[in-house]
Chains A and B, each alone.
Chain A
Amino acid sequence: MRYEVLVIGAGPAGLSAAVASAREGCRVGLLDAAPRLGGAIGPPTRRSGRYGKLWSEVARLRARGLLEIWPTAAVVFASADSLCFGVHRPGRLDLFEAERVVLATGARERFWPVPGWTLPGVFGVGGLQALCKEGWPISGIPVVLAGSGPLLWFVASDLSRRGARLELVLEQHSPLRWMSMLLQAGTWLRIRQALRLWKGLAPARLRWNSWPVEIQGDGQVEALRWVDARGRSGRIACRYVGLGYGLVPNTEVAELMELACSPDGFVSVDADMQTSRRGVYAAGELTGIGGMPKALLEGLIAGRKAAGAPVPIPWRMRNSLEKRFASRLAPLLAPRRELREHIRAEEIICRCEDVSWSALMPCEDGPTAKLQTRCGMGPCQGRVCGPILQMLRGWKLSTPRPPLFPLPAGLWSQWKGV
């Protein structure tokens, strides 16, 4: 497969980039590891609105043959020397080549090792919401959510709308803290959104300045213990727990391509969304966590640039506002100090390889931890424990190695490369 512009990741940023490039007449390929388009947010709920219209555009450009879409197609190989990729689809491993590339691989949830986090019934808030969207029965089931920020509030209101018995929502910061951040870096739209979500949640017992200390249960979640900043505490029975302490960017493809990243782990881009490599652009959560508006706008800029089209000045100005919002948001989403200080010695940090916090204690850096304890060496290749250790110890476990996702040996054996 050969394209003028190849877009990797079909969330809002990737869709927006693909449409922007295809509109300019480029031959565009768009691929995503997931079976359906839409990334973390999924398909639009209504046809109007910017996102809904984007989907109609996708359909139109696809029908005109300007845009080719590959679902269930995961990039497993990438290189620093060429714009060639190994792409795994069920039963196949193909070479994709491109003249320009837009990376829009998004972000994943950061899991946090709250004592008891490995019990069945503990999810990421986004994961829990996705399950419910797919029709998991949630009605009448007691749920506790804990975390921080807009995603937490949004999922809380969505789950209660779906009939879940929302026992408690533990938000780690105060409304004052959030309000001052939103006033400084937000837009009126965001402030209105936040206020609406908070108001909707009040009866469902939204607790500010609070966080979980232990998830209890015997083979399944049964209850959660929490405290707040004033020392109050409690225990509440529940069946599911959703944790939401921020997102971490999926930089694996970018790292194999040896693109420059910022110290906080996002792919570095200039005002045109170009990365450290000419002809390679990045957009969306990959460059900073800022939600849909940022993802759509960055995709638009990256897509146009990749197609060689100019970018209007007002877009750039808006984009720099979005960037500022993203940089203010990140520190509020990360688990607060108290949560980082209370990791139990016996807590499992690497679930793939069963590595406990105490086993990691003697290690002095990420590579040592990996070598000595095999932390991060399992099927998820450190996608879960890596960000935890980054936050707890400032470690980087290691740079990703091919394949980026588990790959059947028989398929790989047929790989010819370029």
Chain B
Amino acid sequence: MTEVLVIGAGITGSACAWRLAEAGFSVTVVHEAPIGGEATGAGMGHLTVHEGEAGVWELALAGRSLWERWAEELEPDIEYHRIGTLWLIPDEQAFILARRLQERFRDCGFRTELLDPVELGRREPHLRPYWLGALYVPDDATVYAPRAAWRLLERARARRARLIRARVVALEPDGVRLAGGVCLKADYTVIAAGVQAVELLPDLPVRPRRGHLLVSERRPGLVRHALVSMSYSATVESRQQASWAFNVHPRPNGQLLIGSCREWDVWDRRPDPKWGAQLLQEACRYIPELATTNVLRSWTGLRAASRDGRPLIGPHPQEPCWIVATAQEGLGITMAPAVAELVWAYISAKEPPLDPSPYRLEGRLCPNPSQSASTAAL
């Protein structure tokens, strides 16, 4: 039987483990920290699609569609809620973008609706009447990602996947070496280690992109959908050191998650209250009632981002039995089921459900590892 090692039990590793165990592979997951404890636990869990570099749209689209099926399998406790996204339109230019986006969604069979300011005000009564309108995507959902990762792993273990709590310190041609010196053998090794993949493969063009998030006390009804400014995609593509956009959605218990910002190449996980202030300035401007709402907590997470903005999914050119799955940037939760499909296709040599070429590693590695994110900063 083909032996597969999966490094990392975030949403990506857990999804791969389940998919591969279902397909009958002998799977061993190796992870050190708590399940879903890194980016997966820090993220917003918004299952959505937006425009980006080549292939980003397609991967997110595939992931989002698969989530609808996965959610049924993994419910009830992953808190999958179809709250819908309102892409808020700040200006004329964004209006044109929203139109284009709507057409693109329509071509993919998504339901959408272009709301005028009056209709927007009806759906979100506490939103300040500032926007020219919104593009409504009713089937977008939110999910509680760390629990989803846990459930996926449980499912994988029910299919005889093994779980080993250890830190991988090196990749070998035929497996991995753990801290302490033990080696595990496998036919394939899936590197789903998030941003920490660069520790194992310094030639990966992966850099951390730190984000801050805040959570408020319960304010049921204050916000009803996932509210995201149309300027959000621009922050994702931004080359500037720091960028941010209005992004707020309710958790099922009525708490609000408030984001989101990006900083290139910051490894420090300690939250900086100044970022909280920045995000809240924006959020209070658009939801005035938020000003009197208590914020309970702030935290950070590190998105794994590639230099060219495309995820890195596929065999490593040097060792084809190392299958890399990282650099989903801010859409790794959404993309996870689709990433698992691609990984499964590589390992079983089957036809993938979508074109894998945008994500392949060939020609994208850093010849000189010191050019990639400085591992010294770890």
Contacts and interface: CB of A to CB of B under 8 A. Distances in A.
Contacts of B37: 367-368, 371
B150 A401 contact: no
A401 B276 contact: no
B277 A372 contact: no
Nearest to A407: B295
A413 B36 contact: no
A41 to B, nearest CB: 29
A403 B277 contact: no
B280 A409 contact: yes
B273 interface: yes
A372 B150 contact: yes
Interface string A366-381: 0110011000011101
B33 interface: yes
Contact of A408 (B147, B150, B276, B292): B292
Interface of B is mostly: mixed
Given A365-B34, A368-B35, A412 B299 contact: no
Given A367-B33, A372-B150, A409 B295 contact: yes
A203 interface: no
Nearest to B282: A413
Contacts of A80: 270
A407 B150 contact: no
A415 B34 contact: no
A416 B297 contact: no
B297 A412 contact: no
B33 to A, nearest CB: 7
B296 A412 contact: no
Contacts of A371: 34-37, 41, 146-147
Contact of B290 (A365, A402, A409): A409
A394 to B, nearest CB: 15
Interface in B276-291: 276-277, 280-281, 283-284, 290-291
A412 B271 contact: no
Contacts of A372: 35-36, 146-147, 150
Contacts of B299: 401
Interface of A is mostly: loop
A372 B276 CA distance: 25
A191 B298 CA distance: 47
A42 interface: no
Interface string A159-190: 00000000000000000000000000000000
Interface residues on B, range: 20 to 34
Nearest to B276: A412
Nearest to B215: A377
Contacts of B290: 409-410
A77 B273 contact: yes
Contact of A409 (B36, B41, B291, B297): B291
B217 interface: yes
B22 to A, nearest CB: 22
A381 B298 contact: no
Interface in A208-260: none
A120 interface: no
A415 B217 CA distance: 19
A284 interface: no
Interface string B87-104: 000000000000000000
Contacts of A367: 33-34, 37
A45 interface: no
A262 interface: no
Contact of A402 (B276, B280, B294): B276
B271 A402 contact: yes
A417 interface: yes
A371 B33 CA distance: 12
A396 to B, nearest CB: 12
Nearest to A414: B277
B281 A413 contact: yes
Given A371-B37, A379-B217, A412-B280, 16 more contacts: A367-B34, A371-B34, A371-B36, A372-B150, A403-B276, A403-B296, A403-B297, A406-B217, A406-B294, A408-B291, A410-B291, A412-B273, A413-B280, A414-B281, A415-B273, A417-B272
24 contacts: A80-B270, A367-B33, A367-B37, A371-B34, A372-B35, A372-B36, A377-B296, A379-B294, A379-B296, A381-B297, A402-B276, A402-B298, A406-B217, A406-B294, A408-B293, A408-B294, A409-B216, A409-B258, A409-B293, A410-B280, A410-B292, A412-B280, A415-B273, A416-B277
